[in-house]
Amino acid sequence: IYGGTFDPVHHAHLILARDALETLALDEVIFVPAAVSPLKKTAPRASGEVRLAMLRAAIEGEPRFAVNECELRRPPPSYTIDTVEEIRRCKSDAAVFCLIGQDNIERLTKWHRFTELAKIVEFVVLDRTGIGASQLHPIIRRKIDISATEIRSRVASGRSIRYLVPPAVEEIIQDEKLYQEQSK
């Protein structure tokens, strides 16, 4: 399970998901866009519907990537434990890995029902700094200097995001006129 706001989804998300798939010999990676992340200070800039469309466009043709919209259907906030329980009901025999960004390590124990969650999933750290900081969880490490914040900033300033996001995602961003104003 790879949860996040995906505002927007970009190549670093996809590359790290592919690395996790191959390194951990996973059957699939399920992307789960969050409606509202309880530990983030700001809400996503793009609507859940548009972020879902961007994710679907980004993974089209990739049979081992899937999208689950359960967090967008539930009232906020989005809690990982609820998502894991829902997915486990459908895939009861599967081992569940929770792919998390390195930036989540410090606040991981603050996650809703963390102790319970830690018993039913294995956390895997996706480290795009290439440095690695966790000794407690497996790490998928690759230096990739791409962030959603940078992408939103580039769009707002009229700069290209080509090669940072899949072409289909760039097209949705342009068609929906997303991120054209600087965030406050």
How would residue 134 be classed by pLDDT, with cut points 50, 70 and 90?
low
How would residue 132 be classed by pLDDT, with cut points 50, 70 and 90?
low
**How many beta carbons lie within 10 A of that of residue 153, not counting itself?**
15
pLDDT digits (tens, 9 = 90+) for 63-108: 999 999 999 999 888 899 999 999 999 888 889 999 998 888 889 9
Domain range 2-145, CATH architecture:
3-Layer(aba) Sandwich (3.40)
State residue 127's pLDDT score. 84
130-to-10, 103, 108 alpha-carbon distances in Å:
17, 13, 20
DSSP letters for 129-147: SSS---SSS-EEE------
pLDDT digits (tens, 9 = 90+) for 135-151: 667 788 888 999 999 99
- Mean pLDDT across the chain: 92
Residue 85 Rama label (left phi>0; alpha psi -120 to 50; beta): alpha
- Write down the domain spans for the chain: 2-145
State residue 61's pLDDT score. 96
Average pLDDT over residues 38-54: 91
State residue 102's pLDDT score. 84
Please tell me the distance from the alpha carbon of residue 156 to that of residue 50, in angstroms, as a whole number: 18
